[in-house]
Amino acid sequence: MIRVLVVDDDFMVARIHVGFVQRVTGFEVVGVAHSGAEALAAVEELAPDLLLLDLYLPDRFGLDLLADVHTGEHPCDAIVITAAKESDAVRAAIRLGVADYLLKPFGFADLEDRLRRYEAQRAALARAEVTDQSDIDRALSRNASRSGPSGLPKGLSPETARLVQGALREASTPLSASDVAEVIGVSRVSARRYLEHFASRSEAVVRLRYGSTGRPERLYEWAGAG
């Protein structure tokens, strides 16, 4: 069983997340924390495998908490679950090696998908036997294929592709490349490359917005399954 600690300052939201996790076989909730101090104490006492981590805690920012957890006696993985769309937060989460980043609000299927993806990453790394560089390359490749969209052209990263996909899926209206760039903290040109990749695979729908002059603006809407 993968042991999960739910960290969220909202008691009702935490209860919902606990209910979601309990519906996923192979995962168990071992505790709930509503502040950074409670979370650190729970990590030391319960030694969870995975945090479901909100970023807006009453006593500290969630990623600062995660940095402390990583340097403590019981480091564990984390899936960020938050309303924080700021590009700085997304970039900092990636630097800290979070397993996933899920924006509120979301449904059970969204969280189940992230938990299953994490479970697959964990299992793949547990099976990996390292005797030379090729073993390391295979382990990293397998991990990337589980954690983000597959079949990416050279030069596109699974991590950024996942962020672009998330931005499109969470948007209530179609987004331009500039919109996506602002949300996830990359350049407009870079965002456009990922968006066009998804469009070429029919995972994103392209719509044209015509202005008074110049070329029409390309807008993207998620259409992929899952």
More confident residue, 36 or 104: 36
* Range(s) within the chain of domains with CATH label 1.10.10.10: 158-222
Q: Check residue 73 and give its pLDDT.
A: 92
Peptide bond into 105 cis (omega under 30): yes
pLDDT reading at 113 higher than 60: yes
pLDDT reading at 225 higher than 60: no
Nearest residue to 51 via CA among 33, 64, 37:
33
More confident residue, 156 or 33: 33
Kindly give the pairing relationship between strand 204-209 and strand 217-222.
antiparallel
CB atoms within 10 A of CB 118: 22
Q: What pTM was computed for the model?
A: 0.61
Write the class of the CATH domain 158-222: mainly alpha
* Range(s) within the chain of domains with CATH label 3.40.50.2300: 2-108
CATH topology assigned to domain 2-108: Rossmann fold (3.40.50)
pLDDT reading at 127 higher than 90: no
Give the C-alpha distances (Å, rounded to integers) separating 195 from 43, 144, 199: 39, 19, 6
